[in-house]
Structure 1
């Protein structure tokens, strides 16, 4: 059985004759060598697969529903009837669901879950998340690769480590350890948007299944707080201002009402025109104060409705559950990959590597 491969070089056609039976014969003659390398690669794959710590992934599916993008007809109609045009309308939202994956990767967001309490398995007390990350296992080769940097960091921060408190974090000035912890949290949480259903899938991956579930649930809760705070901040500021203004106008109305009542009680039997004119003026001041207070009170009710209307609703489609089996690494697939690499590597050496090595040695001798 022969295979012919056509090669075109400088408009000249050449053929490479490959005898498959000869290749199979070579492999069969060196079957023990191939078997030896496959066994070595299998053992190496088993060692590496069991050296990589198991990780558990928890996913939560949420469906965000914004009040600002919904039907605002009721609030707009209410504002129009009351003569308060503009209170029921909303501008375009600067944050949409497509930005959620980027939001949870920001440093301020991660700092919010930096100190959340987690309860790993086989441990009674709750500990902060940043302390749990210090206890996570790492592959044995990481100790070797990180040995120079760990020694350097040990000598450079020996005095600082005695007094520093890693739980007190300053977003503007992070320590090396805090920066590394934030990077680890950033790599452990993620979010993705399903373009078909517009649902958000938030996932957290840690070595402990209960920690993964707690962090995933906390991430969704912090995300909801972040979006709700952003969407309602302006409306809440308007509401607080109108509430303060309403109290002031109410106090002014009560003062005008009290002044009119005191004047009428004092001048009950007086029929002078000047007294009647003063009473009419005080009554008009009281009426005007009441009208202003009534309008501000109406605006306050509309503003409160706007705050509620602007508040987004998050429907949790798939809640967090503690996983029973790890999501990674897949030890079987990893071992099969090493077996395949061992077979391909040994076969390539037998078929091509030996000849190339001999040619290189002959060239060096000739020189």
Structure 2
């Protein structure tokens, strides 16, 4: 029996938690795919799954499709695309879409879609025109243009004042794309929301001040692709999930975040990637991997402070590493918390 073929995809522009959920689903749902799917870098991936519900996401879709790349949309309007999956992602929808993509990669033509709704009077002419030019160069079955965003200006005003770094990472600010963060007394930080990466000459721990303050006016600026590439050429590239981890670690000042029961019992679902700048975390992780415990119990067994344990739980819960039991749950009846608990429930429901 021949082994199933392996295909690759790269997720573009999705918030870090959404990208992590999709990556987890590729493994969780592997028996339901007609082929195996794994993530790859932008250049080598067979499929680009692009979050299109933003100005920059729509532009990314147009550019990639125009360059002949196979693209799928992560969007609130999946029916407007040849290959689309709704956001938030439902496991059954992801399986259906990737199986159709796999069939196309095996030789089937691109599916045709019903015409998209007409653009409103506020819709810029540049996006439909670009879509039309792309369609004229295609030899495959014509596809309807995706709905264009209502704002087309390449100038993005600074609307982040008062927002936090975590707001930016989670896509809750209008600032999107390749960004340069600069403020007096703080290390420079570059964030690419397209590729879900960041660059800085500072260590991870050195970026803590960015995670514990609100942005001031003009501290976040959009950078052109050429300038961004030049400015980050000598800086290491890091996954954005790592910066999200830091933001959750330091923002609550030793208290469990909202939604986490102060009297609950917490356990690691698997061994996490440890950060050398936080040596206490190794002991905390060792305790939490063995059995569930309250914050105070884990602190006592791990030789750490309760504040350190609470911060640890906040950070790894944000990335889906924590299983938890609320105080109303009987010992041993673990209630899945974080990303992977939600994935398991969603998979069972589908």
Give the TM-score normalised by structure 1: 0.17
Give the TM-score normalised by structure 2: 0.18
Specify which structure has the bigger relative contact order, considering alpha-carbon pairs within 8 angstroms and separated by 6 or more residues.
1
Which structure has the bigger radius of gyration?
A: 1
